[in-house]
Structure 1
């Protein structure tokens, strides 16, 4: 075994892995019911929690015992409490950016579970067998993500990291025009706007997604510096030219051919010397064990999209070069499987 390789799972570990979905299910149920909000103080019994959340006492007791069994709650003598170290993570409060409830919902959506249950079919078929894939504007997950990405997910932190990575370059430009493609809730563009007071941001997304970006712009007090175009990013007029183009969390929804089409459009929209930023998981071709989350994410794209997958750094480098961009710089945020690629638009 080479140093980069992970040890093989044992039979017992494989069986244990197959049961992890049950742990995810009880945590998700507790978040949906609002159980944790009633367990952050003194220990309480299941009947008290059941009354507070409007649930069946027996069902609540079974759920709380399951949570205690996996180490999320402390349970003794029929009474339960949330350990202090987990209160910020699991109890929502204004200004509590450590809360992960949104992440729980985003990483265990109905679409994901329904899709993964049909992974074998997707492998045979070579793509999603669901009625609506993520590349379809009618996919419910797109709006759910736009709504929930405000807290408890990597999105805001990754957006801030992107602004930090670009700061040495952006500080040399008194004004900054930014295109945020498939902007969703707008966090990537708004992070650049916050770090660069002279900047203006233009967001592009489907009509039913843009209200979330508009709301967030108003709440951040930058609505006067933000404009929008509603429509399909492969078809609408992008405007420009822009100093920076952002495309976050979306390229892995599409085939390499579609990615190339989009990069061609972005090449026309970005000024020479400008920057293209891609935020996406990136796989390792040499040894999948080096980043298992990226390869598992690619399997998820197999079940949720018709032709999507996670691409490698070499693949991105080649596609970018073919459309007039330099080799991308690769950046990361500790604890995240998402990578930030920054490529210069060559003259």
Structure 2
């Protein structure tokens, strides 16, 4: 009886402590310089950016209860790159669609009863602060993987991030050991709004190229890390490299033919101006996987670049 009494007392003590644990908070300084008391262990996160917040959260093992998303031409909603990287989307997991872009209304967020709201740069914290603690993270920062670190800190998943980083370092180390990257130039381009856009230093693929130590064409070598640059069509020859990627929006139904067609429309006979194209080294890849803040994407891209830059047999 005494043992049972002690067990009962311990159980009661544990139950009494649960609300205190659930209500435990800590101070967090967001990217707007605001100090916000947030849950020490948030359980119901509303993520107001899919590409830079929701995908990293899912990779870290945290499923948001609601997320910003996109809408296709058919009206179907999705989180950009999420299903490809994680398998999670609005149609595969219990994640509420909150809206697109700035069209996310406090009423929709309140309905999912979050205990923490992570706002993107184009949201006003004051519109959401009455619902739950609301913090703002600036997705305009050059290094999008700094946001990943912030999300790991917010959710207490630093250990998980350390494992992802260790895996990526191994992948990049293998690439550097097998390819003389300093003597191989790579560029990433697309025809965008009448310009040739170079993404060489931008997002996930930009990080792989930088970390592996690949050379860049002189015209783009000074573009800041985490940024892209636009060039006039007549400067296309200056975009040439040993390997040139051209990107397209696969999630919106585009194909490699669209990427090449957009270049042709911008610069008729474009292949004559790029030795990479003439040598079969102009490669079309989906843009969404190159943009997302995802360690899964980093690994995919590291192996893709490895396969395309490793010397073929007999060379």
Instruction: Name the structure, 1 or 2, with higher relative contact order (CA <8 Å, separation 6+).
Output: 2
Question: Which has more radius of gyration?
Answer: 2
TM-score, L = length of structure 1:
0.32
